[in-house]
Chain A
């Protein structure tokens, strides 16, 4: 099965690469620069396939793995991670907006608070020593792994009464569910708590260059009562705005190198398109477990790097 092969290829690539990468000098001078760029492109391509099949954003896989196994400083990996998440969300956006799944009125208030905090997160993250960032990244990634293992999801959560803030903002909508051939109407509750959590998520996303879809979706779906498909689609809208805000901080600090960012973005976008085509044909549960394992491994590796091991 091609998807399982992609996931297995990714794991094998990591296992094979770890000792090889550990043996080269810090700059990766054991290999020509174009070799690293090519590997990064292929790696991002595989990540793009696996990320779509596992239902996670690209950035959350990209940053811990690339910062652990490639010779690039974590500053550039975080800068590229934000752009990877941003590019993925942008390319998926138009059809989701037209279907009414990504909802501007739901996403914009969350993105506004999230973008302010993502700028703050990026500033804090860039001011910290790399080892501390690696250490904290390891902790965050292991936390995400635990959330992915434990959190449930609800296709169509029941919201008995919308809260006053969401009524004031007019946050509600409907979309056509192609799978069940019926219309789904939705409204939300607990909007103020949601805003608070999006502020926190934005900070973490900006600090580590993660897309933060892993956190956006449960907040929309489990806390605010947004149907799962709308939660996933609107999460992309939010992270495209948050990622854009934080990316500027990285760019003004010289933490965006096109030689790293462009192949990562290109590989991830191409891989995501293949992943989206494979999605109906694969057992996503297996892929998700493989991704959780990869995340746990890269989280441990980040922790070890943070401890200087």
Chain B
């Protein structure tokens, strides 16, 4: 629904496009996260790492936990179909989906700015998309 006052619209086309994408994506995220978590904790699908093992080690820092139990990180849940068809992998994938939401919305905004021939904001949005893509590529890792 577009917010108006006596017919006046307070958001431009780009904002409306961003808002529409965000609305669809945020509803999808809630559904995917809930389904993924149910599959995970109720163990309706096999797990790559038992939830009890994760819980027994969640006091360790991320580096030590990875070395000990090889929990999913980065894009590892999508390594192959067999890996993906596990409850913990699907739940982890739902978190990836959440992290991708902004990228999807920004891509919509970029197209809208580009169509409007707003070169400055098309450029800023493209740079922002690039920053998020670089972050999602896993180039920037750290650790203890």
Interface residues of A (CB under 8 A from B): 26-29, 33-34, 36-37, 71-73, 75-76, 79, 83, 86-87, 90-91, 93-95, 97-100, 102-105, 108-109, 111-112, 115-116, 119, 122-127, 129-130, 168-170, 173-176, 183, 240-241, 244-263, 265-266, 269
Contact = CB atoms under 8 A, between A and B. Distances in A.
A73 B99 contact: no
A167 to B, nearest CB: 12
Interface in B86-127: 88, 91-92, 94-96, 98-99, 101-103, 106, 109, 120-121, 124-125, 127
Given A33-B51, A97-B15, A254-B66, A115 B128 contact: yes
A37 B58 CA distance: 12
B120 A104 contact: no
A68 to B, nearest CB: 14
Contacts of B95: 83, 251, 256, 258, 261-262
A97 B142 contact: no
A127 B98 contact: no
A97 B16 CA distance: 7
Which secondary structure characterizes the binding site on chain B?
A: helix
Contact of A258 (B14, B91, B144): B91
Nearest to A31: B55
B19 interface: yes
For A169, A252, A258, which residue has the most chain B Cβ atoms within 10 angstroms? Answer: A258
A72 B74 CA distance: 20
B40 A108 contact: no
B131 A115 contact: yes
5 contacts: A26-B59, A87-B29, A90-B101, A98-B19, A174-B10
Given A100-B15, A252-B138, A269-B30, A94 B23 contact: yes
Given A83-B98, A240-B102, A241-B128, A97 B59 contact: no
Interface residues of B, number: 72
A93 B74 CA distance: 26
A96 to B, nearest CB: 8
Given A116-B131, A258-B94, 20 more contacts: A26-B59, A34-B41, A73-B62, A79-B62, A86-B98, A86-B99, A87-B29, A87-B98, A94-B26, A98-B11, A99-B11, A100-B10, A244-B132, A245-B135, A248-B132, A251-B96, A253-B73, A255-B62, A258-B95, A259-B40
A254 B73 contact: yes
A126 B140 CA distance: 11
B136 to A, nearest CB: 5
Interface string B57-77: 111111101100001111000
A69 to B, nearest CB: 13
A123 B134 CA distance: 14
A97 B99 contact: no
